[in-house]
């Protein structure tokens, strides 16, 4: 015997619902409570009438009575629907309702004989007839790619995933609150820029037809935020999208969320204090503690965090004198590098990425990087080969990057010109003269910092893939999509 086509069966029930004079796609319905409140405060609400709305995730038929599970954003609760309580018309409608449909109910909160918290319904309303069935929880969503491509199904079936995105929202709210309490002003700067700047990365290119102008999706908002420092906005931040036309991995998505913060009259030590305070505040308010599990390891965000110099880490893990160029090149070759950079600072960075980064499991501020790596950063007054920069590493992953900002327009021009001579797609072969003009009007000494929001959320939710914390990550299209 052939199994009935579930899509055809749902269409048939859709028409039957219309024959009953019911709109299968509902109207406004106002819930009085959510499921978690009713369960957590049962004694307070027992015996009272409540109204709930949500999606049916289970249906158990007992003739003239039915038990259903209703799921809303806060959880699930059992419904008890009896023909004599909701009436013949509503019960006939209920015969055409299936798992996946969205409904509203009103009734009295109580417990069954088995002690299950239940809404004993007196009114039942169809709010949306689902024309496709939900995937089976463990079979239909076993395909990880399906979870990312059809996130709506993942959110319905996977409450852990649902919780991750609620937690992401809470993390971002807390970050904003800390900055606002400190007097920072949130601003918005252009996402389409005529010259890409603020980071070494390959940009996405687009074209403005009316102006006949090539534009670039921003790789960072840094240069525009620094213009605002020139204009007198002494504490500014932006939390928004950045775009980099580079590889995709468990730690990289071409479209990602970045927090950038700038404070006049500060330096990178102030940014370290701010970074630690932001993350610790998030741990306290969102997680309720400093310890999290990530990739099978416990991460402890309890302050204060370790601070260690970049060169000391190279000495410790590569076993070389960082300023010995021959030894550094030999160490990189031993590590299996196929190409050796021509400039020594970039050799050191390759060594750092290859033999040091994955050793930095607990929160660690890495200080004072080789100067050539950071053309927008001020050098140390007692050692011009190094920059006043830190990176925050957790679980072998860079989470934050901060500078004492360079505000000398002549040195900034030299650094930009040197970067252009090196070439590379990240520069687009252009010098940002407008930014240099702004610096010539005087930018106060400042500290600046960027925090990768997606990576921070990964760590604080125990998600080892960035795709698990971005609602709609970029994926290669499947044939037929």
Q: What is the pLDDT along the chain (481 residues), one digit of tens a residue?
A: 454 588 999 999 999 999 999 999 999 999 999 999 999 999 999 999 999 999 999 999 998 999 999 999 999 999 999 999 999 999 999 999 999 999 999 999 999 999 999 999 999 999 999 999 988 754 446 678 888 999 999 999 889 999 999 999 999 999 999 999 999 999 999 999 998 888 888 899 999 999 999 999 999 999 999 999 999 999 999 999 999 998 889 999 999 999 999 999 999 999 999 999 999 999 999 999 999 999 999 999 999 999 999 999 999 999 999 999 999 999 998 888 888 999 999 999 999 999 999 999 999 999 999 999 999 999 999 999 999 999 999 999 999 999 999 999 999 999 999 988 887 655 556 889 999 999 999 999 999 999 999 999 999 999 999 999 999 999 888 775 5
333: exposed, middle or buried (Cβ count in 10 Å: 0-12, 13-18, 19+)? exposed
* Phi and psi at residue 105, to the nearest 5°: -135, 155
Give exposure, 425-434, as e/b (b: 16+ Cβ within 10 Å). Answer: ebbbeebbee
pLDDT for the residue 138: 45
Report which secondary-structure segment, H or E, holds 464.
none
Give exposure, 319-330, as e/b (b: 16+ Cβ within 10 Å). Answer: ebebeeeeebbe
Q: How far apart are CA 267 and CA 406, in angstroms?
A: 10
pLDDT for the residue 73: 95
Distant-in-sequence, close-in-space partners of 130: CB < 8 Å, separation ≥ 6: 10, 98, 100, 101, 102
Question: Please, which residues bridge with residue 300 across strands?
Answer: 291
Q: Tokens representing 365?
A: 């501020």
pLDDT for the residue 2: 55
From residue 157, alpha-carbon distances to 56, 139, 142, 390 in Å are 12, 11, 11, 41
pLDDT for the residue 1: 42
Distant-in-sequence, close-in-space partners of 197: CB < 8 Å, separation ≥ 6: 219, 220, 222, 223, 432, 435
Q: How far apart are CA 113 and CA 118, in angstroms?
A: 10
Q: Tokens representing 175?
A: 């970050």
CATH number of the 6-134 domain? 2.40.50.140
pLDDT for the residue 4: 59
Q: How far apart are CA 49 and CA 180, in angstroms?
A: 41
Task: List, in sequence order, the alpha helices (H) in 95-158.
Answer: 144-149, 151-157
Query: Which CATH architecture is the domain 156-305+362-468 placed in?
Result: 2-Layer Sandwich (3.30)
Is residue 400 within 8 A of residue 394, CB to CB? The reply is: no
From residue 102, alpha-carbon distances to 65, 74, 156, 280 in Å are 19, 15, 12, 39
pLDDT for the residue 424: 60
Across the beta sheet with 192-193, what order do the strands follow? 192-193, 213-217, 205-208
pLDDT for the residue 67: 96
Q: How far apart are CA 450 and CA 220, in angstroms?
A: 9
First to last CA, the chain: 32
Q: How far apart are CA 173 and CA 169, in angstroms?
A: 6
Q: Tokens representing 210?
A: 């009316």
Helix/strand/coil for 95: coil
Report which secondary-structure segment, H or E, holds 213.
strand 213-217
- DSSP code of 202? P
Distant-in-sequence, close-in-space partners of 222: CB < 8 Å, separation ≥ 6: 197, 198, 199, 260, 376, 448, 450
Q: How far apart are CA 345 and CA 53, in angstroms?
A: 60
Is residue 228 within 8 A of residue 437, CB to CB? The reply is: no
pTM of the model: 0.93
Q: How far apart are CA 289 and CA 107, in angstroms?
A: 39
Q: How far apart are CA 331 and CA 300, in angstroms?
A: 32
Q: How far apart are CA 355 and CA 347, in angstroms?
A: 12
- 185, 248, 138: which is closest to 470 by C-alpha? 248
Q: Tokens representing 462?
A: 């125990």
Q: How far apart are CA 253 and CA 243, in angstroms?
A: 9
Q: How many CB atoms lie within 10 A of CB 145?
A: 11
Domains of the chain, residue spans: 6-134, 156-305+362-468
């Amino acid at each position: 015997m052939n199994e009935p086509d579930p899509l055809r069966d749902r269409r048939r029930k859709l028409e039957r619902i219309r024959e009953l004079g019911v709109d299968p796609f509902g109207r406004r319905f106002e819930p009085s409570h959510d499921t978690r409140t009713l369960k957590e405060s049962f004694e307070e609400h027992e015996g009272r009438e409540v109204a709930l709305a949500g999606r049916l995730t289970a249906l158990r038929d007992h003739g003239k009575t039915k038990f259903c599970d209703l799921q809303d954003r806060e959880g699930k609760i059992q419904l008890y629907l009896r023909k004599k309580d909701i009436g013949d018309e509503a019960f006939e409608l209920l015969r055409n309702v299936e798992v996946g449909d969205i409904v509203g109910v009103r009734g009295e909160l109580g417990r069954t004989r088995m002690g299950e918290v239940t809404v004993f319904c007196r009114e039942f309303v169809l709010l949306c007839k689902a024309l496709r069935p939900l995937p089976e929880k463990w079979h239909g969503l076993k395909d990880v790619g399906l979870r990312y491509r059809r996130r709506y199904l993942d959110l319905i079936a996977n409450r852990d995933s649902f919780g991750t995105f609620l937690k992401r929202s809470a993390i971002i709210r807390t970050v904003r609150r800390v900055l606002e309490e400190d007097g920072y002003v949130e601003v918005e700067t252009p996402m389409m820029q005529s010259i890409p700047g603020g980071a070494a990365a390959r940009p996405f290119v687009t074209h403005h037809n009316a102006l006949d102008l090539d534009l670039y999706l921003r790789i960072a908002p840094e240069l525009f935020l620094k213009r605002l420092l020139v204009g007198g906005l002494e504490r500014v931040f932006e939390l928004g999208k950045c775009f980099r036309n580079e590889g995709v991995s468990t730690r990289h998505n071409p479209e990602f969320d970045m927090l950038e913060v700038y404070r006049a009259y500060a330096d990178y030590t102030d940014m370290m204090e701010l970074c630690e305070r932001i993350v610790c505040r998030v741990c306290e308010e969102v997680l309720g503690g400093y310890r999290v599990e990530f990739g099978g390891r416990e991460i402890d965000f309890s302050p204060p965090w370790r601070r260690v110099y970049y060169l000391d880490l190279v000495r410790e893990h590569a076993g070389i004198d960082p300023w010995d160029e021959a030894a550094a090149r030999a160490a990189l070759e031993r590590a299996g590098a196929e190409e050796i950079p021509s400039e020594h600072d970039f050799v050191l960075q390759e060594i750092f990425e290859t033999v040091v980064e994955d050793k930095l499991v607990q929160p660690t501020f890495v200080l004072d990087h080789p100067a050539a790596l950071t053309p927008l950063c001020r050098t140390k007054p007692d050692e011009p080969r190094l920059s006043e920069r830190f990176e925050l590493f957790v679980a072998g992953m860079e989470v934050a990057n901060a500078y004492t900002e360079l505000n000398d327009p002549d040195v900034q021009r030299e650094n930009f010109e040197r970067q252009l001579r090196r070439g590379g797609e990240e520069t687009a072969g252009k010098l940002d003269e407008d930014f240099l003009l702004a610096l010539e009007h005087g930018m106060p000494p400042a500290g600046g910092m960027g925090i990768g929001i997606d990576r921070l959320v990964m760590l604080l939710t125990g998600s080892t893939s960035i795709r698990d914390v971005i609602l709609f990550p970029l994926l290669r299209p499947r044939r037929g999509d």
